[in-house]
Each structure stands twice: as C-alpha cells, then as structure tokens.
Structure 1
Amino acid sequence: MQVAMIGLGRMGANMAQRLQRGGHAVVGYDPSPGAREGLAGMGIGTADSLEALVAALAVPRALWMMVPAGEPVEATIAALQPLLSAGDVLVDGGNSNYLDSQRRAAALQALGIGYLDVGTSGGVWGLAEGYSLMVGGDVEAAARLSPLFEALAPTPTTGWAHVGPSGAGHYAKMIHNGIEYGMMQAYAEGFAILERRQDLIPDLAGLAELWRHGSVVRSWLLDLTAGALKDNPGLEGIAPWVPDSGEGRWTVAEAIALDVPAPVITQSLIERLRSRQDNAYADRLLAAMRGASGGHGVKRG
C-alpha cells in the first residue's frame, strides 16, 4: 500500500521505516529540510511540500500525520483539505484530544474524506518492537488501512484494533497515558523508599532486574527502570523536573466530568506539577504557619 507520512520527528521517521520494511511504499514530508534529508538517507522518498506529497500519491490516498497536538494538527489539516479528494483517508497518529478528533472527523466526513484517530503507543522502541495502535473512526476506512496497522503492530494479529467510532482511538490513548502516570509514580515512590535503606538493599539495579522475571510487578516500564538504574545508579545529571504532555490532565478532567474517582492518576499528575516547584511558595508558607501556630523553629534558606 502507498502511504504518506507527515511529520518526520523521531517517531514519524521510525514509523515510516517500519512501514517500508513491511513492504509499503512510503513518501514523507516535514517542513524541516533536515528531517526530510534524514528520511531520504534511510532510502525513503520525500516531498518538499504538502502539494508535492499529495501529488505523489495515487487516489484514493492514505496520509498519516505524526505532528504535535493542537494548532499544528489544525494547520496541517487546513493545508491538506483543498488538496484531498473524496475517498482519501487522513490519519492522526499523535496525541490529540479526542474531542478535537471528533470535530475534525465530522468536518472531513462532510467532504467525503475519511479521518481516523489512532492512539499510538510504543515510543522510540516501536521501530524494533512494533506499536500498539488504538484505531478510532469509520469501520470501512479502518479496514482499508488495516495493512498499515498490521505492518506497524508487533504482529499482524496483535497490538492493534479498531476500538470504536471517531474519537475512540485518542480517548483510549488518553486513558492509557493516565494509567502510565500512576504506574510510573508507584515505581518512583517504591524505589525512593528503597534508596533510603541501601544498608539493606545496596543494589537497586539488581533488585529491579530481579523483579523483571516472574514478579507480579514486572512490566515494560520496569524493564526501562532497570536499564536506567544500571546505566546511572545515582541518577547523576538528571534534574527532578518531570514534564507532562497533556493526556494526564485530560484523563483527570474526564474522571471529574464522569464522577469517577481516580485518586492515583490524579495524584501522579499533581506530583509531576510539584516536581517543577523550585523553592515552592506553598511549602514555605506551610513552614511559616507551623512556626506561628506551634512555636516550632523555621529553617532559614
């Protein structure tokens, strides 16, 4: 199958390579000449504009976007819309908000253009291991593009599925990432406790490696944790500053809107926000209140 890949960051370029290895004809586009040159160096064709990209594809076309959520997706769709024809299918494989995906699908459907929202998990390891793909949107459009999903997934029959109507793919990925927040936080807290008792557990990397085999807490995240601790046991050079890309916030907002208690996911998000608080005002005020109310000493910094 012929497919265009729009957005040639690391993940987009990796997906383009995996598709080509799966026997698909891939042409890529990115506004950065360097990104296009990088893909061309892998033996994959590129186009220097969206117009040239669309012109290089036979109809009906399949185009896969791997661009940042929000305005970049909006701008890309706006630029593509007049170039596409009825029967074409556009895929958003990024981390867009599911409500945006539903709106975009409805607008493009009116023009006869298919729109699939595909929640994509696998990160930088997807090239070698395959991606987990949560496909939302029209069933027929998803079936038509199934050869692409089969090539990107770990195997043709595992790691991908049509999970529901428009918005469902990005909704599933949103909750997936919220769960990931909680899992990461639990590992981080557990190893923080262990690190305080190195008289008992002197080899954290060794313990992580032990848990990877047969333990009920084994997971891919633990595999990555074990690797990180082996490479850098003291975590030297790593600042205690944890970003978030939005899906955790959306998950918490959805839980509140649905009256579903989600304390673990919510607290894991709060901890990420807290990690960015250098000399936090709230903590300093707490110390001042404790001193004023109980006569306790206040540490001066």
Structure 2
Amino acid sequence: MKIGMIGLGKMGANMSRRLMNDGHEVVGFDLDEKAVQELESDGADGATALDVLVGQLDPPRVCWMMVPAGEAVDATINEVLPHLNAGDILVDGGNSNYKDTLRRADRAKEAGMHYVDVGTSGGVWGLKEGYSMMVGGPDEAINHLRPAFETLAPGPDKGWGHMGAVGSGHFVKMVHNGIEYGVMQAYAEGFDILQAKEEFDLDLKDVAETWRFGSVIRSWLLDLTARALDDDPDLPDIAPWVDDSGEGRWTVKEAIDLDVPAPVITDALISRLDSRAENSYTHKLLAAMRNQFGGHDVKASDE
C-alpha cells in the first residue's frame, strides 16, 4: 500500500524504511528538507508540502502523522484536512493524549474521514525489531491499514492489536508508558543499592548480564540497561536529570479520576521531577535507559 508519512524524525523515518523494506510505497514530508532528502535516497517519494503529499496518494488516502504531541498535531490536521476527501484516513502515531484524540476524531468524522490512533512503542530499535502498536479506530479503517500494521509489527500476528474505538490506542499507550516509568524506576533503584555496597565491589554490568538469562526479572529493558552499563557503569558523562514526555503524568491523573491507586507509577513520576533538583546514580541510570530504548537526549554532566 501507499502511505504518506508526515514527520520524519527518529520514529517516522525508520517506520517509513521498515514499510519500504517490505514493499510498501511511502511519500515523506518533514519541515526539515534534509530529512526528506535522506528518505528519498532510501527509495521514498518526497513532498515539499502537505498538499503535494496528498496529491501523490491514491484513494482512500492514508496520511500517517508522526509529529510531537500537542499543537503540532492540530497544526498538521489544520493544514492537511482541506486537501483530503471523504473516506480518507488520518493516522496519529504519536504520543497524543487520548482526550485530544477524541476531539480530533470528531472533527475528522464531520468531514467524512476516518481517524485512527496508534500508540507506538519501539523507539530507535523499531526499524530492526519491529514496533508494538496499540490501535484505536473504526473497523473499516483498521482493516485497510492491516498490511501496514503487519509490516511494522515484530510479526504479522504479534506486537500489534486493535484495542477498540478511536482513542483506545492512545489510552492503552498512555498506561503502557506509566508502567514503563515504574519498571525503570525499580531497576535504577536496585542498581543504586548494588553500587552503594562498596565492600563487595560489585560489577554492575556483570550483575545485569547474569539477570538477563533465566531470571524472573529479565526483560528487554534489562538488556538495554546492561548495554548502558557496558561503557562505564559510573555513567560519568550523564547528568542525573530525567525528563518526562507527559504520558506518566496523564496516567497518574487518569488513575486519580478513576479512583484507582497507582502508587508505584506515581512515585516513579515524582522521582523524575525530583531528579531535577538532586544528584543521584538512580537518576543517571534512568536517563541512560531512556537514551538506550528511545534515543532520548541526555544532559551532559557538566550542563
């Protein structure tokens, strides 16, 4: 199938390449012309503007947005919507708040178009390993997009699922990221305890490698932790500043609204906020883990 990919950052560009590697056609657009040119060199068609991108697609047109959550999504919709027709499909694959997704879906429906939300996990490793995708939207649109989902996922029948009505994909991804906060926090605190036991002079990389196989706490996140510890377990070049991109906050707020206790996720969020005012190994390792799985920037220790 042919897809218009809007936003060619770390996720959008690699998703485009994974699609093309499996025979799909991609028309790419980004505000950064260099990103478009790089994707063109890999076999995509480039577009200089969103109306040009739409003009290169076949009905029902699929415009897949991989832009930062918030105003950028609304700005993109405002620009592309006038060029689409009834039956076309708008996909938001970013980390949008599900409440914003519901609002945007109503607008698309009024214009006779389908709106699909795809909570996407996989980070910088998705090109090779595939992406986990939590999909929300109408059956008709999901069935049309199925070939793309089967290509982008780790396998045609695994790693992606139709969660339910529009908004459900981003809701599930929000909770996924909240869980991620808690798991990362537990790993980072555990390794902080290990490091503090100076009398044993523990090799943290060796500990991580031991836990990776057979242990009940083995995981891909632990694999990435071992990778982060490989160069220098003291993480001298990383400042203990851990950013948050919003989903953890939304998860905590939703838990409060639903009267669901979520102390681990909440504490992990508070720890990230606290990291900006103190110096600890726990927060250094949290920052390193975010860099490993998502390519998220870290602050240098001298910043």
Give runs of aligned pairs for residues 211-230 of structure 1, distance below 5 A.
211-230=211-230
2:126 aligns with 126
Matched residues, percent identical? 62
**Are 1:170 and 2:160 matched, yes or no?**
no
Shift in Å, 1:172: 0.3
Structure showing greater radius of gyration is 1
**Structure 1-normalised TM-score?**
0.91
SS at match of 2:226: helix
SS at match of 2:277: coil
SS at match of 2:199: coil
**Structure 2: which 5+ runs fail to align?**
280-303
Which stretches of structure 1, 4 residues or longer, exceed 4 Å deviation after superposition?
Answer: none
1:185 aligns with 185
Amino acid at match of 2:248: G
The answer to whether the 8 Å contact 2:5/2:27 transfers is yes
Deviations 1:222-247 (A, max 9, x none): 00001111122110110000000000
Shift in Å, 1:38: 1.7
SS at match of 1:162: strand
d(CA) in 1 for partners of 2:278, 2:128: 38
Deviations 1:182-241 (A, max 9, x none): 000000000000001143252110110110001000011100001111122110110000
2:284 aligns with none
The answer to whether the 8 Å contact 2:240/2:278 transfers is no
1:81 aligns with 81
d(CA) in 2 for partners of 1:132, 1:102: 22
Shift in Å, 1:16: 0.2
Amino acid at match of 1:97: N
**Structure 2-normalised TM-score?**
0.91
d(CA) in 2 for partners of 1:79, 1:27: 17
**Structure 1: which 5+ runs fail to align?**
280-301
d(CA) in 1 for partners of 2:7, 2:104: 18
d(CA) in 2 for partners of 1:108, 1:141: 13
- The farther-off stretch of 192-201 and 101-110 is 192-201
1:3 aligns with 3
- Alpha-carbon RMSD: 1.0
Amino acid at match of 1:149: F
d(CA) in 1 for partners of 2:57, 2:14: 20
1:287 aligns with none
d(CA) in 1 for partners of 2:43, 2:206: 41
1:144 aligns with 144
2:56 aligns with 56
d(CA) in 1 for partners of 2:189, 2:27: 44
